[in-house]
A = this chain, B = another copy of it.
């Protein structure tokens, strides 16, 4: 996991472990609840570091809380690596649809594309049963 060039401290190991246990993306406030002792700032900076090193990616699902989820092994967070996210408005959870790539967009002339944030919202399969 530290092929991403991150110094593995105890804190970071723990945070990474929590992250890998998630089935949905997780935000800073929710991450805090998993730790009694750790400080918000530390978690904040840990997420920031992880994101910079492309171990996790940021998802802004419009709920007001930025969420994070693990990147795939080979992800470089380039436009080609990106996938669609799904926000369920019932359970409020945000899922990575890893196998649904973000469609290619043809921008007007003169526009340079660097990244895409695509969040689909609706009701997830769990909440519809």
Chain A residues numbered 101-129 whose CB sits less than 8 Å from any CB in chain B: 103, 105-125, 128-129
A118 to B61, CA, bound (A): 10
- In the complex, residue of chain B having the shortest beta-carbon distance to the beta carbon of A110: B125
Contact between B128 and A107 (Cβ–Cβ < 8 Å)?
no
A97 within 8 Å of B (CB atoms): yes
Contact between A107 and B123 (Cβ–Cβ < 8 Å)?
no
A92 within 8 Å of B (CB atoms): no
Q: What size tier do the contact residues of chain A reach?
A: 20 to 34
Contact between B118 and A117 (Cβ–Cβ < 8 Å)?
yes
Distance in angstroms from A127 CB to nearest chain B CB is 9
Contact between A62 and B117 (Cβ–Cβ < 8 Å)?
yes
SS class, residues of chain A in contact with chain B? strand
**With A60-B60, A60-B62, A62-B60: A108-B97 Cβ-Cβ less than 8 Å:** yes
Residues of A whose CB lies within 8 Å of any CB of B are 58, 60, 62, 66, 84, 86, 89, 97, 100, 103, 105-125, 128-129
Listed by A's residue number, 20 A-B pairs whose Cβ atoms lie within 8 Å are: A58-B62, A62-B66, A84-B105, A86-B107, A89-B114, A100-B105, A100-B107, A103-B105, A108-B125, A109-B125, A110-B124, A111-B122, A111-B128, A112-B122, A112-B123, A112-B128, A114-B122, A115-B120, A117-B118, A117-B121
